[in-house]
């Protein structure tokens, strides 16, 4: 038992060192990388961050939301509103969108927390639909056909295109690192144990004195904060927004497939899932629909055969955890499986 603990600590120490080196290398990309590479990396960063946040919600908070696109789109629209109507500096909209998204998530939580378990999932989806249809009605934001960022707002990021690209790149990298580090620290804190306990058994955790409602609410708000901020960043890179793209369920589809295939309930899982998603996407992009079908079939198979995902298989086989946080409590079940 002792040797096991030492072993994982060493793995995690190696993991941390590799992560630190990797971050340093990634920081230098704007000086040597080309534009396409940077664009791809930015996309990887924000998808990875979104996947981590969804994993925090579903994998630890037990809040399976299929409506996180509500906050992505909201963050995107907040960018446009803050820039165009309030004249806020473009980059500053990212943290502000996060804060406003967190504030708006409170009344949303008030509604969807009335729905338990499975129903919660679809309830969040309804909320996202309301956002989609609602924003499409707002004429000042271009209605259903959306709007573009003014040139001045783009220029305000940095004068030259290269500097703009670099700024956006560093911002995306910072967000991804901050999200992962934040979740890691959160899970290592005493809240982490509470969350894991809730995810494993609501009843048992209640008997342990965990305040389920408060812990879940906190996770929901944190996820809304991060997702809205990332939403603003995404639309800084996209420049154009429409309700149907901003509130597209496919955001959440992608995120869920990444987390499920990589491994739900671990920090490593979404990283593995994101890498696989982008590695396969490049060669399979021409097959469009079939790529989604393949992901769907893989996700279903993983959920049935290896519910902890590819990372779960790997870490069980080699007993390795790069980001060790408290593991699941195993409780007996009432019936024979099956």
Partner 1 sequence: MSLLEIRNLDAFYGDFQALFGFDFDLEEHETVAAIGANGAGKTTLLRAITGMVAATSEVLSYRGESIQSREAADIVALGVAMVPEGRRLFPSLSVEENLVIGGYSGRPGRWSLERVYELFPALRNRRSVPGTALSGGEQQMTAIGRALMSNPDLILFDELSLGLAPVVVKEIYEVLPVIKAEGTAMVVVEQDINRALEVADRVYCLQEGRLALTGAPGDLTRDRISAAYFGT
Partner 2 sequence: MIEWVNSIVQGVLTGGLYALFAAGLAIIFGVMRLVNIAHGDLIVLAAFVAMVTIETTGVDPFVSMVAVLPFMFFFGYVLQRGILNYTLGDDLLPPLLVTFGISIVIQNLLLEIFSADSQRLKAGPIEVSSVELVEGIELGTLPLIVFVIAVALIFALQIGFSRTRLGRAFRATSDDPSTARLMGINQKHIFGLAMAVSLVLVAIAGIFIGIRTNFDPALGPTRLLFAFEAVIIGGLGSMWGTLAGGVILGVAQNIGAKIDPGWQFLAGHIAFLVILVLRPNGLFPRTRDD
Ligand X SMILES: Nc1ncnc2c1ncn2[C@@H]1O[C@H](COP(=O)(O)OP(=O)(O)O)[C@@H](O)[C@H]1O
DSSP bridge pairs for 147: 241
Contacting residue, 334, 336, 337, 338, with ligand X by CB under 6 A: 334
Q: CB count, 10 Å around CB of 65?
A: 29
Residue 289 to residues 43, 256, 258, 275, Cα–Cα distance (Å): 20, 17, 17, 20
Site of interaction with partner 2 (CB under 8 A): 58, 62, 64, 66, 110-111, 114-115, 117-119, 121-123, 125-127, 129-130, 133-134, 136-137, 144, 201, 249, 253, 256-257, 260, 264, 289-290, 292-293, 295-297, 299-300, 303-304, 307, 333-335, 337-338
Residue 90 to residues 78, 79, 142, 187, 218, Cα–Cα distance (Å): 11, 7, 19, 32, 28
- Residue 154 contact among ligand X, partner 1, partner 2, none, beta carbon within 5 to 8 Å by kind: none
Instruction: Note whether 124 and 112 are within 8 A (CB).
Output: yes
Residue 327 beta carbon to ligand X: minimum distance, rounded to whole angstroms: 20
d(CA 212, CA 241): 37
DSSP bridge pairs for 148: 240
Site of interaction with partner 1 (CB under 8 A): 330-337
User: Cβ closer to partner 1: 185 or 208?
Assistant: 208
User: Cβ closer to partner 1: 34 or 334?
Assistant: 334
With CB atoms as reference, the residue minimizing the distance to ligand X is 332
**Sign of the Cα pseudo-torsion (129, 132, 137, 140, in order):** positive
- Residue 296 contact among partner 2, partner 1, ligand X, none, beta carbon within 5 to 8 Å by kind: partner 2
- Residue 293 contact among partner 1, ligand X, partner 2, none, beta carbon within 5 to 8 Å by kind: partner 2
**Taking CB under 6 A as the criterion, which residues in 86-105 touch ligand X?**
none
User: Cβ closer to partner 2: 114 or 214?
Assistant: 114
Q: CB count, 10 Å around CB of 94?
A: 23
Residue 332 beta carbon to partner 1: minimum distance, rounded to whole angstroms: 3
Residue 332 beta carbon to ligand X: minimum distance, rounded to whole angstroms: 3
d(CA 49, CA 239): 20
Contacting residue, 332, 336, 337, 338, with ligand X by CB under 6 A: 332
Residue 44 beta carbon to partner 1: minimum distance, rounded to whole angstroms: 39
Phi, psi values for residue 331, rounded to 5°? -115, 150
Residue 204 beta carbon to ligand X: minimum distance, rounded to whole angstroms: 11
**Sign of the Cα pseudo-torsion (63, 315, 226, 147, in order):** negative
According to the binding rule CB under 6 A, does residue 34 interact with ligand X? no
Instruction: Note whether 128 and 67 are within 8 A (CB).
Output: yes
């Amino acid at each position: 038992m002792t040797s096991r603990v030492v072993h994982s600590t060493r793995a995690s120490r190696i993991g941390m060192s590799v992560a630190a080196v990797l971050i340093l290398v990634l920081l230098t990309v704007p000086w040597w990388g080309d534009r396409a590479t940077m664009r791809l990396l930015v996309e990887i960063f924000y998808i990875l961050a979104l996947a981590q946040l969804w994993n925090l919600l579903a994998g630890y908070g037990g809040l399976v939301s299929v409506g996180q696109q509500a906050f992505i789109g909201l963050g995107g629209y907040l960018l446009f509103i803050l820039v165009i109507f309030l004249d806020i500096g473009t980059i500053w909209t990212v943290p502000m969108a996060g804060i406003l998204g967190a504030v708006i998530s409170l009344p949303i939580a008030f509604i969807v927390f009335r729905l338990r378990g499975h129903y919660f999932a679809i309830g969040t989806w309804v909320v996202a639909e309301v956002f989609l249809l609602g924003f499409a009605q707002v004429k000042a934001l271009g209605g259903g056909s959306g709007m573009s960022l003014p040139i001045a707002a783009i220029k305000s990021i940095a004068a030259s295109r290269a500097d703009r690209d670099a700024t956006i790149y560093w911002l995306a990298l910072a967000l991804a690192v901050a999200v992962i580090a934040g979740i890691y620290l959160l899970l290592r804190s005493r809240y982490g144990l509470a969350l894991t306990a809730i995810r494993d058994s609501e009843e048992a955790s209640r008997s342990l004195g965990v305040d389920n409602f408060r812990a879940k609410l906190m996770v929901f708000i944190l996820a809304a904060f991060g997702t809205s901020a990332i939403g603003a960043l995404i639309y800084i890179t996209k420049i154009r927004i429409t309700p149907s793209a901003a509130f597209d369920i496919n955001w959440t589809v992608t995120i869920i497939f990444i987390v499920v295939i990589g491994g739900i309930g671990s920090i490593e899982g979404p990283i593995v899932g994101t890498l696989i998603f982008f590695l396969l996407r490049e060669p399979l992009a021409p097959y469009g629909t079939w790529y989604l079908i393949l992901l769907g079939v893989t996700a279903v198979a993983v959920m049935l055969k290896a519910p902890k995902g590819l990372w779960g298989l790997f870490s069980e086989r080699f007993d390795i955890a790069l980001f060790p946080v408290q593991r699941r409590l195993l409780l007996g079940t009432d019936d024979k499986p099956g």
